[in-house]
Amino acid sequence: EPVVYSRYTRNRDRFPVDRLVDFTSGGWLTGLSDRVRIRLSGTYPRYGAQAVRDSADLIHAHFGQEGFRCLDAKGEAGIPLVTTFYGLDVSALPKIAVWQKRFGRLFVEGDLFLAEGPHMASTLRGIGCPEEKVRVQPLGVDLSAFTYRSPSQREAVGEVLMYASLREKKGHRYGLEAFARIAAEFDARMTIIGDGPLRTDLESRTAVLGVQDRVRFLGSLDHDTCKQHLAEATVLLYPSVIASDGDTEGGAPVGILEAMASGLPVVSTRHADIPFVTNDGAAAYLTEERNVDGLVEGLREILGAQSEAVTYAEAGREAVESRHALEAQGAALEERYDEAIGA
């Protein structure tokens, strides 16, 4: 049975966990001691002793930096360490000298390293991870949580959805430019779900583009409400790019997988592992990063021809069912754990 270790928690009501160890609950003196050790060594204190008390068989760290911070715990508990990389940890952190050194140690001492797709796996190898330790482990999607609704069953017409945090790598700037152009041809509206540091700039940008009356910013929403928007929209626009600081999606955004599971056609970019999850564009319309013309063409194709929208929607659901079903990926992850324990 899994135990979650955490140094802070939030939204516990929305993400119930049966067994959770919160390492911020030990009092101020313990907290001070922890912070000093983390500052000096970069690794987490007390995790190893807790893993021994929990009779843990292995540690699974999420994000490369967390993998490094769990190295001492691995040694103290004498158990394998599996680390999943996601995005910033393979694109931006390896450019920083201290993290180059830390990842060098992680790649030597860690047992297995998981990537969402082949692009991420290749990037991991490129920053020094031994090939024999890298495994592709696609994200799992709970298909029972997403009811497939064909474009022919959707009442909304011309509803363009952007569903992502408002950060540079999500490409909202290019999405807004594409929408402004397509809005001159179609009676279209845009809904933007998510929040982040670029919100003010993006809101101002809608005024410059003359579409402020056709774009609404809803901020961060609970997951059930997000799923409702996925079920009602006409198309998901997800124009991911490599950000100026090197940040990338790493693998592929969960929002794209959720849209595909819902029967919502997707317009996106050939970025990171997006081509992998969309079967190289068979299950979504893909164009190059920052290619506004390509985004416009994708929106035009889906908004202008329901038959094209249905084709993408059906292929999207099939792709998620065949590669990302939660039960199958959960079983595959257990096999990775068995491999690490038996290594």
Q: Name, of 2-11, 147-156, 198-207, the range with top average pLDDT.
A: 198-207
Provide the pLDDT for residue 291.
99
Which residues are CB-contacts of 238 (< 8 A; sequence separation ≥ 6)? Answer: 162, 163, 164, 170, 171, 175, 253, 255, 256, 259, 266, 267, 268, 269, 274
Query: Residue 111 has which token pair?
Result: 């047992």
Cα dist from 322 to 141, 151, 251, 270, 316, whole Å: 11, 21, 18, 21, 10
User: Exposure string (b/e) for 251-261, b if CB count within 10 Å is 16 or more?
Assistant: bbbebbbbbbb
- CA 59, 3, 249, 138 torsion: positive or negative? positive
Greater pLDDT, 338 or 38: 338
Provide the pLDDT for residue 227.
97
Provide the pLDDT for residue 38.
82
Residue 34 confidence class, pLDDT cut points 50, 70, 90: confident
- What's domain 143-323's architecture? 3-Layer(aba) Sandwich (3.40)
CA distance 119 to 121: 5
Q: Tally helices (H) and strands (E) across the chain.
A: 15, 12
The whole-number average pLDDT for the span 67-93 is 95
User: Exposure string (b/e) for 82-99, b if CB count within 10 Å is 16 or more?
Assistant: bbbbbbbbbbebbeeeeb
CA distance 73 to 320: 36
The whole-number average pLDDT for the span 93-118 is 97
pLDDT digits (tens, 9 = 90+) for 139-156: 999 999 999 999 999 988
Provide the pLDDT for residue 11.
82
207 burial level (CB within 10 Å; 0-12, 13-18, 19+): exposed
Query: Residue 327 has which token pair?
Result: 């039960």
Percent of the chain with pLDDT over 90: 86
Pairing state between β 235-238 and 112-115? unpaired
Question: What is the DSSP secondary structure assignment for residue 193, as one 8-state letter?
Answer: E
- Please name which of 235, 226, 269, 277 lies closest in space to residue 252, comparing C-alpha atoms: 277
Q: Where in the chain is the domain with CATH 3.40.50.2000?
A: 4-139+326-342, 143-323
pTM of the complete model: 0.92
The pair phi, psi for residue 249, each rounded to 5°, is -70, -20
pLDDT digits (tens, 9 = 90+) for 220-255: 999 999 999 999 999 999 999 999 988 899 999 999
CA distance 23 to 16: 17
Provide the pLDDT for residue 100.
97
Provide the pLDDT for residue 335.
98
* Radius of gyration of the chain, Cα coordinates, nearest whole angstrom: 22
Residue 29 confidence class, pLDDT cut points 50, 70, 90: confident
CA distance 140 to 98: 33
CA distance 246 to 110: 25
Judged against a pLDDT cut of 90, whether residue 13 lies above it is answered with no
The whole-number average pLDDT for the span 77-82 is 98
Judged against a pLDDT cut of 90, whether residue 200 lies above it is answered with yes
pLDDT digits (tens, 9 = 90+) for 155-198: 888 999 999 999 999 999 999 999 999 999 999 999 999 999 99
Torsion of CA 323, 329, 333, 339, to 10 degrees: -50
Q: What dotted CATH number matches 4-139+326-342? A: 3.40.50.2000
The whole-chain average pLDDT of the chain stands at 95
Greatest Cα pair distance in the chain: 64
Residue 343 confidence class, pLDDT cut points 50, 70, 90: low
Q: Which 3 state secondary structure label does DSSP give 21? A: strand
* Residue carrying structure tokens 């064909």: 150
How many whole angstroms from its chain centre is CA 19?
A: 24
Greater pLDDT, 63 or 88: 63
- Please name which of 35, 99, 44 lies closest in space to residue 70, comparing C-alpha atoms: 44
pLDDT digits (tens, 9 = 90+) for 265-295: 999 999 999 999 999 999 999 999 999 999 9
Residue 96 confidence class, pLDDT cut points 50, 70, 90: very high
Judged against a pLDDT cut of 70, whether residue 336 lies above it is answered with yes
